[in-house]
Structure formats: structure tokens, C-alpha cells
Amino acid sequence: MRLPGQVRYAGRLPSGTTAAAFVALDRVRRQPLDAAAEQRAATAAFDLAYHALPASRRRLFRCLGLHPGPDFDVCAAAALGNLTLVHARRTLADLVERRLVVECGARYRIPDLIVEHARRLALDEPAVLRTAALVRLANMDRIPHPRRGRTG
């Protein structure tokens, strides 16, 4: 029996993930699942991938859950996470490698299967930090950037 689509799609688990996680996923794989059980299994798989991230990557992933649109660029990620562009690019590259973010040309998006999960995780950030991230995102167009023309 194959894993349900959402669980198969789940982020790549690093080599340091415990054997117990793999045993649990194998147990899920062997059981027929109804929709609710499949959603719980998918959430568990995404949680494993998320918790395997370093703290700085988990924080940016949570902040990306605040983005109101379907996709974003490096500048928006940097604004949300209060990161430099270099650090934002590196973090996004890692999230892409782990399949928690998809690269679409010069833009990125959180896969449909986990976007709601990312939005729920965003609520883990304190309200003051969520507000600050959204203010930085809103003010992003007012700050001149060498690679884009001044829009504000």
C-alpha cells in the first residue's frame, strides 16, 4: 500500500530524524485512512519536517505563514523574517530543499497542502512580532532597493 498523497509529499526528513518517527509513518502507511486520519497523518509528517529545521528556519517558515498572497519574493521573505537578503535566500533555499517551500522562478510559495499548516504555525509567534513582521512587509515598497526601482 502506498502512502496517502499528502504524507508522500511531506517535507524531506533529515538523516537525524529518529527511528520512532519512521516507525510511526510506516504504521500509518499500512492502515487504510479516512479523510480525517489522512489529514492527521499529513499534519504529523509536516510537523516532523518542521521540527527538524534549525530554529532560524522554523521562525522564517512561521513568518511566511503571515504572507497574505499566494506567493512572495526574497525581499518579502526578508521583510517578514527581519533578515538580510542573503540570509533570506539561504533560508529559502533550505526550505525549498526540504519541500516546505516551492520556488517558482524568482518567486516562492508554500505548497497548497501545507499553507494552512504554515498559517497556524504563524500564530505561535507573539502578536507583537506578527504585527512587526506585517508592518515591515507593508513598508517594503517604501524602502529603496538596488535591484528594483523606487515604487513608493
Please report the pLDDT score of residue 8 as a whole number. Answer: 47
**16 is written with which cell numbers?**
537525524
Reading the chain (152 residues) residue by residue, the pLDDT tens digits are: 444 554 444 555 555 455 556 566 666 666 666 777 777 777 788 888 889 999 999 999 999 999 999 999 999 999 999 999 999 999 999 999 988 999 999 999 998 888 988 999 999 899 999 999 999 999 987 665 555 444 44
Please report the pLDDT score of residue 141 as a whole number. Answer: 75
Please report the pLDDT score of residue 151 as a whole number. Answer: 43
Q: Which long-range contacts (CB under 8 A, 24 or more apart) does 116-124 make?
A: 117/43, 117/46, 118/61, 118/62, 118/64, 118/65, 119/65, 119/66, 120/65, 121/50, 121/61, 121/62, 121/65, 122/62, 122/63, 122/64, 122/65, 122/66, 124/62
User: Do 64 and 101 form a contact (C-beta atoms < 8 A)?
Assistant: yes
- Report d(CA 86, CA 91) in Å as an integer: 9
**70 is written with which cell numbers?**
499566494
**95 is written with which cell numbers?**
526550505
Please report the pLDDT score of residue 42 as a whole number. Answer: 75
Nearest to 41 by CA among 52, 30, 54, 53: 30
